[in-house]
Structures are given as C-alpha cells and as structure tokens.
Amino acid sequence: MREIAFDTETTGLDPRSGDRLVEIGGVELINHVATGRTFHVYINPERDVPEGAFAVHGLSTEFLSDKPKFAEVADDFLAFVGDATLVIHNASFDMGFINMELGRLGRPPIPQNQVLDTLAMARRKFSSGPYSLDALCSRFGIDNSRRTKHGALLDSELLAEVYLELLGGRQTALGLMDEAERKSGSSDDTSGGPLVAAPARPRPQPLAPRLTEDEKAAHAAFIAKMGDSALWKKYEPAGE
C-alpha cells in the first residue's frame, strides 16, 4: 500500500481570492513505513507574499521570484503522487489549493477518495483537542523542535510520524507481512503477530559455476595428499 504524507505552504488562506501555492512537500510511505523517497519544491506564486504568510513560513517574494511556477512542476508532482493516497492534516485546505492550481492548467482534480485527513482521524481518536500538528506531536512525544516555522517537507515528515501513531502506534511499522500471511500464522501477540521469514525461492536458472575444471582437479589432488583421514572428506559431496 502506497501513501504520501503531504503538506503545502501558501500565500494565504483562500485560493478562490487569488492566494497561491509557494511550497509542496511529500514523504512516501509503503505499508505505513517511510521509504526515504520524498518530493519537495518551492513555487513562484506569481504574486507577492503578504507579511502574515511570510511570518508563518518565512518564504519571501524575493526568495520565490526565481523558483519554478506550478505549471513547470505539475507533471513531476502528479507523477510522484500517482494513485497513492494523500495523507494530509486538514486536507480540505491543501486540496483546495492543489486542485485550484490543477484547474488553472485544465487538469482534472485529485479526487476526494484519494485523500485521507489526519485531522478527522485525530478528532475521532481523541474527545478533546487541540488537534494541530504541533499539539499531536506533543501528545505522541514526537520531537518537533526543528519546526521553528512551517515548512512543507518538514511538516510532511512530522505528519508521517503522527499518522503512524494515529493508526495505533509505532508497532504498526512492524507489520511487514501481507494480510493473508498474518491471518494464516499463529500468534498470541496483539500487535499483529510474529514476523515470519518467507522461504527462499529457487532460481529459475542455476548460476553458472565459477570454478574451472583445472581448479577442481588441483583441489582434488590437494585433498588426496591429506589421506583418508582428512576432515575435508567428511563434508565432500559423494562422487567429487
């Protein structure tokens, strides 16, 4: 199962009033485990960055002026996302901007059924808030000391950890067997059962031998000099 913990930064709160994306970050998860593969890009919003937005993420109009426009990174972004589920905190905000930008290019929106909202997950899990990313990091003991300002990639990395905790804790990452293997195995472990190594599969074609006939003959002659009591003869295959 492929998912992407995902976040954006913007020039403001409302894409319908002209606010634009300035940063996209994503962290790939396979079976709830981060693979190390990420997507990160700063974006020229083609407008100024208001002081209020700059105070949040620290990305100035000047800094973003030479960065690619969304139209220039859209293909790379969509290729990275593919058909993965986007795991987003307060998904309606980020998806409002992403789908507005895609609409500007005549691209179809990312459908709602491809999005998972961790804010909704947190509200279902806990009867009282706060439910911000920082608050959830504090609740789960996740170190967010690097988060002096909002940043799409860093926030995606933190979100991946929060998401894992919302699923039931870090032991979830140990569930590397597929569901059929898990159900077929016996276990008294409530975390999902033991990890069972799959049997090695034989090669379709055996590897070619590395020893030459001359080398084999030289080895046989060497063993013969040791006599019948040589320890090697105990392990030597019959007929060789």
Q: Is 219 marked active-site?
A: no
9 in a known ligand binding site: yes
Residue 55 neighbours by CB under 8 Å, 6+ apart? none
Q: Is 94 annotated as a binding residue?
A: no
Instruction: For residue 174, give every residue at least 6 positions away whose Cβ sits within 8 Å of its Cβ, in sequence order, or none.
Output: 191, 192, 195
Measured CA to CA, the distance from residue 69 to residue 64 in angstroms comes to 9
Of 80, 86, 56, 87, which Cα lies nearest the Cα of 162? 87
Burial class (CB in 10 A: 0-12, 13-18, 19+), 110: middle
Please give the full DSSP string across 174-193, using - where no structure is assigned.
G--S-HHHHHHS----TTT-
In what helix (H) or strand (E) does residue 31 lie, and over which residues does it extend?
none
Q: Is 89 annotated as a binding residue?
A: no
**Which of 203, 202, 200, 181 shows the shortest CA–CA distance to 192?**
181
**Neighbouring C-beta atoms of residue 29, cutoff 10 Å:** 22
Catalytic residue among 32, 40, 89, 150: 150
Q: Give residue 129's identity as a one-letter amino acid code.
A: G
Residue identified by tokens 């593969």 is 37
Q: What's CA 103's distance to the chain center, in Å?
A: 27
> Known binder of ligand: residue 155?
yes
Binding residues for substrate: 7, 9, 57, 155
Where in the sequence numbering do the catalytic residues fall?
150
Binding residues for a divalent metal cation: 7, 9, 155
Binding residues: 7, 9, 57, 155
